[in-house]
């Protein structure tokens, strides 16, 4: 999985509790992304980062926040988890080069989150 580690791999939590998912990369890639995968929706972008402390919203960002304090780590936080946030969460990374390679995103193995 292209030097990407997601933790935890599985988590069960209760509605209203805060949850933080971690993505760690060893590739020194500039760009990092968080997606959620749900049946019938494919993968949808939650937030992304284009550098340390540089982040922006994706198409389904409500209820989520992110932080990136160093190149290798990108954290996704659910401030107060809801049942609608039960999903599989994927982290992805991509390079920063002058060629088209920055278009290629490499995905981690995912975190399965259940909010009861």
Partner 1 sequence: QQQVKQSPQSLIVQKGGISIINCAYENTAFDYFPWYQQFPGKGPALLIAIRPDVSEKKEGRFTISFNKSAKQFSLHIMDSQPGDSATYFCAASIWRTGANNLFFGTGTRLTVIP
Q: Interface residues with partner 1 (CB under 8 A)?
A: 1, 4, 31, 33, 40-45, 48-51, 54, 56, 58-59, 90, 92, 94, 100, 102-110
Pick the closer one to partner 1 by CB: 104 or 116: 104
Q: How far is the CB of 24 from partner 1 (least distance, A)?
A: 14
Pick the closer one to partner 1 by CB: 40 or 70: 40
Q: How far is the CB of 38 from partner 1 (least distance, A)?
A: 10
Residue written as token pair 């995905």: 107
Q: How far is the CB of 103 from partner 1 (least distance, A)?
A: 5
Token pair recorded at residue 28: 């020194």
Number of Cβ within a 10 Å radius of residue 35 = 25
Q: How far is the CB of 31 from partner 1 (least distance, A)?
A: 5
Cα dist from 66 to 22, 29, 97, 116, whole Å: 10, 17, 24, 22
Whether residue 46 contacts residue 109, with contact meaning beta carbons closer than 8 Å, is answered with no
From the centroid of its chain, how far is CA 115?
A: 17
Pick the closer one to partner 1 by CB: 43 or 75: 43
């Amino acid at each position: 999985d292209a030097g990407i580690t997601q933790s935890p791999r599985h988590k069960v939590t209760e509605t209203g509790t805060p949850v933080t998912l971690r993505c760690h990369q060893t590739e020194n890639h500039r760009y990092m992304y968080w997606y959620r995968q749900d049946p019938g929706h494919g993968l949808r972008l939650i937030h992304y980062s284009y550098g340390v402390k540089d982040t922006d919203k994706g198409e389904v960002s409500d209820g989520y926040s992110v932080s990136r304090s160093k190149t290798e780590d990108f954290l996704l936080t659910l401030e107060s988890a809801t049942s609608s946030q039960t999903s599989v969460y994927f982290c992805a990374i991509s390079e920063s080069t002058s060629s088209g390679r920055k278009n290629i995103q490499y995905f981690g193995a995912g975190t399965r989150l259940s909010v009861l």
